[in-house]
């Protein structure tokens, strides 16, 4: 039987880095909920699938690497480094062709081998700065 930490690592690799929206149900529970400011996860498994697919529009080569993982049993905390190339529309921003890298801090809760909650904060300030967005005016260079 896999540990919760192993399930989280595999979910990051398979679902997010490999973009396998068809494998979401292998890692996430039917009643999954997320809490991320500025990111719409929708609801349940369909919401996760939609987010996996929408990320790939703006950053087709989206990939996550776990920098730090803290195993708290049914709660797993991870510091992620997210990378990708902005070659498609991202949150309404036209493609820039720029490579980006930003951090994300996530806490996941698991039950019976599935992720039931995920909450975190992504460093969108760094992401937007790399894309040339003026945070005060909301305009892009």
- pLDDT exceeds cutoff 60 at 108: yes
Q: What distance in Å separates the CA atoms of residue 133 and residue 135, rounded to the nearest whole number?
A: 6
Q: Which DSSP string do the residues of the chain spell out, in sequence order?
A: ---HHHHHHHHIIIIIIS--GGGHHHHEEEEEEEE-TT----SHHHHHHHHHHHHHHH-TT-EEEEEEEEEETTEEEEEEEEEEE--S-BTTBPP---EEEEEEEEEEEEETTEEEEEEEEE-HHHHHHHTTEETTTTEE-
> How many Å apart are CA 96 and CA 90, to the nearest integer?
10
Provide the pLDDT confidence category of residue 112 given band limits of 50, 70 and 90. Answer: very high
Q: pLDDT tens-digit profile of 12-51?
A: 999 999 999 999 999 999 999 999 888 888 889 999 999 9
Is the pLDDT at 86 greater than 70, yes or no? yes
Strand pairing report for 133-134 and 114-122 = unpaired
Tokens of 61: 């080569």
Average pLDDT for 83-109? 93
pLDDT at 31: 96
Measured between alpha carbons, how far is 120 from 66 in angstroms, rounded to an integer? 14
**What are the structure tokens assigned to 78, written together?**
């991870």
Q: How far apart are alpha carbons 74 and 82 in whole angstroms?
A: 24
Query: Which range is most confident: 15-24, 83-92, 122-131?
Result: 15-24
pLDDT at 140: 63
Per-residue pLDDT at 20:
97
Whole-model pTM: value is: 0.90
- Do residues 60 and 93 lie in contact, with contact meaning Cβ atoms separated by under 8 Å? no
């Amino acid at each position: 039987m896999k540990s919760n930490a192993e399930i989280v690592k595999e979910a990051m690799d398979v679902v997010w880095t490999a973009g396998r929206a068809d494998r979401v149900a292998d890692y996430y529970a039917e009643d999954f909920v997320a809490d991320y400011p500025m990111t719409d996860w929708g609801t349940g498994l369909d919401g996760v699938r939609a987010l996996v697919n929408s990320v790939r529009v703006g950053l087709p080569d989206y990939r996550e690497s776990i920098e730090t993982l803290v195993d708290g049993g049914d709660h797993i905390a991870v510091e992620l480094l997210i990378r990708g190339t902005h070659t498609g529309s991202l949150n309404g921003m036209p493609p820039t062709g720029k490579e980006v890298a930003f951090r994300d801090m996530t806490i996941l809760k698991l039950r019976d081998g599935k992720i039931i909650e995920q909450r975190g904060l992504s460093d969108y300030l760094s992401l937007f700065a790399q894309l040339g967005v003026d945070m005060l005016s909301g305009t892009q260079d």
